[in-house]
Each structure stands twice: as C-alpha cells, then as structure tokens.
Amino acid sequence: MALPIPAPRPDPAERWPNGPRREVSLVVQTSFLGDVVLTTPLIAELAQRGAVDVVVRPDGAALLANNPDVRRVIVFDKRGTHAGAGGVWRMGGVLRRLAREDGDARRVAYLAQGSVRSATLAMLGGFAERVGFETSRSARPLYTRVVRYRADRHHAERLWSLAMPDDAQPAPEALRPRLHPGYEERRAVSALLSGFATGDPIVALAPGSVWATKRWPYYAELAARLAATGAQLVVVGGPGDAELARAIVAAAPAALDATGKLSLLASAELIGRCATLVTNDSAPQHLASAMGVPTVTIFGPTVPEFGFGPLAPGSRTAGHPGLACRPCDAHGPQRCPLGHWRCMRELTPETIAQVVGAVTADHATRHAPRHVAR
C-alpha cells in the first residue's frame, strides 16, 4: 500500500528567521516496541531542527532502520550489557564521545520514557537541556524543562508534545508514525506471499501479546469465518506466537503462517500489503498505523482511552461495553483479577467478524479505481 509522501521539510532559514539554528537532539526511548513506533513523529519533528540520535533497546533498534530522520541508533541493553549503574555510566561515556563530533551545537535530550535511568544517562552524556514529562516524579528533578502529560491525548501526540510549546496543536499528518521497510524486507514479503494467486483481500491476524489477558481467545474461530467469505489470511507475530498460529491454520488451512519468519520491518511491510489487520492491544497495531493499514483492535483489560489505539484511517476498536471492571490494568495482567476474564471471553467471533467485514469493505471502497468520464 502506497503511503502519502510527507510534506517537504521547511528550510532552516525560513523556520528560524534570525538564522539557522544547529541543534542536536537525543531521544531516549527504551520502552516497548509499540512505544518506539509512536516516538517516530517526535523524531520527525526534531529532524527538522537538526541531527537526531535515538537510544533504544536492542529489539527496538530494528524498527528505526532506514529511517531518514535518524542520524544514529544507539543500542542500550538495559537488561543485559548495560544493566546497573555501571552500564549507565559506560553508555554515558559513549554519548560524551559522540558529542565531540557536534562542536558547539545546542544539545537537547528528550526523555520519552520517564525514568531516573534515562535522565541520568542524558546527564552523563553531557546534555545540559533535558525534557521530560511531569508524571515522572523521581526523574523530574533531573529535567530542565517539564512537559504536561496529557492523559486525554494519543500517546503519539504526548510524545510529539515533548518538542513543542504547551499550546501546540498537531496536524493529523504530524502524528502519523513512520517506518521504512527496505529492499530486503520487500523481497522477503514478496517471496512469502507468492502462493497467494488471487486478488482477494488479505486480512492479517496478530493473535499474540506479551500480556496474557490481552490475548483474545477466538482467533481460530474468526479465521474460519473470514476464510468462508473468501478472504486470504496471514498470521503475523514472533516465534512465541507459533502455537497460536497453528490453531488458526488448523481452523483455516489456507491461512499463511508468517510467525517467526520475518523481521520487524518485514512484518510491517507484510501488514502494509493487507486490507485489514486484526490484533490485540499490542505492537502490530502500531506497525499498521505506520503503514496506513486500517486496524480492528480488540481491547480487553485495557481501553483505547489510555492513548494507544490505532491511528490509520478507517480503523475501529472493539471492547466489552458493559463491564464496570474495565480497565483493570495499565498493561494487562497475566491473570484476570476477578477470575472471569469476561472482557475477552464475551467478545464473540461473530461480533469481531462483523467489524472486520465493515472495515475491509470500507477499505475496498476507498481504494477502488476511479473511472473518469471523458
């Protein structure tokens, strides 16, 4: 699916009429994969001002490959090589050495994940300006500018606001996440899809989640229903989702199991070639947002109001409307606190199939060829 071409970046002389400002930004985002994707609008904004380096965990680094807005991806293995105070000190030294290349540029660190560790890392790296959210009480004394955390906004906007004045209002395009699959990713996906001979729409299913109570239990039943309508199905996810994928393929034998077969960027490319993605509240929905693919996100213990819903046009969310216990957790506990798990068990395959059908039909309408009378 072709994505809109971003608007050209403004000339620095036009952006700052008193002359171009040379700025080096450091974005520290060592949270989950979805958070890395949602940080890309902030990175794109900062790239208009100068060079941007990004500190991420090892698994998040792959998502920033080929990103033209990023100068350097700096891997911070906070649970491995860089664990503990010693690891933070060593990484701070790496950042100080890199700073020597920047001369007298203004250097600002944006702490996308509010933690003392991230703020300390920026201080040790020589960043005199450090920007973070007010909600991180322990790290807040280390910030030189504190930004309001807008709980009523999407997290992509919250992160973008780190670099903006308090009253800034983003255009929708400014908040679009950005991923950049390259030639190798496109080739891998083309090879994987070579067995899909028809032009029927492809629906991607992402049944996994790190959080057990976020995993909707009826993907296999949904797959059988969708296959009966002629949809081609592909299952996306990591190696840990293989068992879930096998259950789906057993119910819909023509479904393609891509779990564990693609890199993160290639998975984004695969999702980008689909008409719809059906997913839990997990990282694949953010990959779909970056690729512009309408998404049906199934919310159980969490809710879209937390600010992590899909951003692609035509997306919809599904959740149990009548439970007073929702939401029960910021992420999704491993077990239902009340033992019934009704938030997921009572969302039926029939209900989700109807939502998927509506989203897929709307996508087909919006992308149908237009015939112009001559």
pLDDT value, residue 35: 96
Q: Which among 255, 256, 241 has a CA at the least distance from the CA of 191?
A: 256
Per-position pLDDT tens, the chain of length 374:
333 333 334 443 343 333 344 799 999 999 999 999 999 999 999 999 999 999 999 999 999 999 999 999 999 888 778 888 888 898 899 999 998 888 889 999 999 988 899 999 999 999 999 999 999 888 999 999 999 999 999 999 999 999 999 889 999 899 999 999 999 999 999 999 987 766 778 999 999 999 999 999 999 999 999 999 989 999 999 999 999 999 999 999 999 999 999 999 999 999 999 999 999 999 999 999 999 999 999 999 999 999 999 999 999 999 999 899 999 998 889 999 999 999 999 999 999 999 999 998 777 666 654 444 43
| DSSP string over 44-99 | HHHHTTEEEEEEE-HHHHGGGTT-TT-SEEEE--TTTTT-HHHHHHHHHHHHHHHH
Domain-by-domain residue ranges, the chain? 12-175, 197-366
What distance in Å separates the CA atoms of residue 139 and residue 143, rounded to the nearest whole number? 7
Tell me how many helices (H) and strands (E) the chain has. Answer: 13, 12
Three-state SS string over 241-256 comes to: HHHHHHHHHHHCCCCE
What 8-state DSSP symbol labels residue 171?
-
What distance in Å separates the CA atoms of residue 258 and residue 244, rounded to the nearest whole number? 12
Q: Which among 108, 79, 76, 105 has a CA at the least distance from the CA of 93?
A: 76
Phi, psi of 214 (to 5 degrees): -85, -10
Question: Can you read off the two tokens belonging to residue 1?
Answer: 């699916």
pLDDT value, residue 197: 62
pTM exceeding the 0.85 threshold for the entire prediction: yes
Question: One-letter amino acid identity for 369?
Answer: P
Q: Which among 260, 239, 268, 246 has a CA at the least distance from the CA of 63?
A: 268
197-366 under CATH 3.40.50.2000, yes or no: yes
pLDDT value, residue 367: 64
* Cα 190 → chain centroid: 23
What distance in Å separates the CA atoms of residue 143 and residue 271, rounded to the nearest whole number? 38
What distance in Å separates the CA atoms of residue 308 and residue 310, rounded to the nearest whole number? 7
Indicate the pairing of strand 295-299 with strand 232-235: unpaired
Chain position carrying tokens 């072709």: 2
What fold does the segment set 12-175 form as a domain? Rossmann fold (3.40.50)
Q: Would you say the CATH fold of 197-366 matches that of 12-175?
A: yes
283-291 and 33-47 are packed helices; what angle lies between their axes, rounded to 10 degrees? 30
- On whether the CB atoms of residues 255 and 275 are closer than 8 A, the answer is no
What distance in Å separates the CA atoms of residue 213 and residue 210, rounded to the nearest whole number? 9
What 8-state DSSP symbol labels residue 318?
E
